[in-house]
């Protein structure tokens, strides 16, 4: 249980710190990053097998958040991103409003 002790969310003195954490998914047999309820299961296209890799990705995401450059779509499979675009175009909705709904639908299935 102390494995994730380093992931305790601490207050930040910087800009847009959002926290986040990594966890072991016993059913998938790999780690995932949890950012505001969104699960990211891959880093550079590969499953996150090792806790050090999970921490590295979490640190990268936190830095992007602080810099204001974080975009969840960058961490999703390209096919899913293309589906977002197509579905939003069909529905005439901005992609940002539809992303949250679709992320919740697909990321929990991995």
- pLDDT at residue number 58: 94
Question: How many angstroms separate the Cα of 17 from the Cα of each of 61, 62, 63?
Answer: 10, 7, 8
Print the domain residue range for 74. Answer: 2-107
CA-to-CA distance for 23 and 32, rounded, in angstroms?
6
The pTM assigned to this predicted structure is: 0.56
Chain centroid to Cα 75, Å, comes to 6
In the numeric block, which tokens belong to residue 97? 């409003």
Question: Domain count of the chain?
Answer: 1
Of 42, 41, 43, 6, the residue nearest 21 (C-alpha): 6
List, in order, residues 6 or more apart from 68 with CB less than 8 Å away: 15, 16
| Per-residue pLDDT tens listing for the chain (110 residues) | 334 444 433 333 244 545 789 999 998 899 999 887 778 888 887 889 999 999 999 999 999 888 888 888 788 766 556 666 777 777 777 766 666 666 666 665 54
Of 3, 6, 98, 110, the residue nearest 58 (C-alpha): 6
DSSP 44: T
């Amino acid at each position: 249980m102390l494995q994730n002790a380093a992931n305790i969310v601490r207050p930040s003195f910087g800009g847009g710190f959002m926290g986040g954490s990594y966890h072991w998914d016993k059913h998938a047999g790999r780690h995932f990053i949890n950012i505001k309820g969104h699960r990211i299961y891959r880093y550079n296209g590969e499953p996150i097998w090792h806790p050090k890799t999970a921490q590295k990705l979490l640190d990268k995401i936190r830095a992007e958040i602080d810099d204001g450059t974080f975009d969840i779509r960058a961490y999703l499979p390209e096919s899913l991103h293309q589906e977002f675009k197509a579905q939003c175009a069909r529905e005439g909705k901005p992609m940002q409003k539809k992303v949250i709904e679709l992320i919740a639908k697909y990321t929990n299935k991995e």
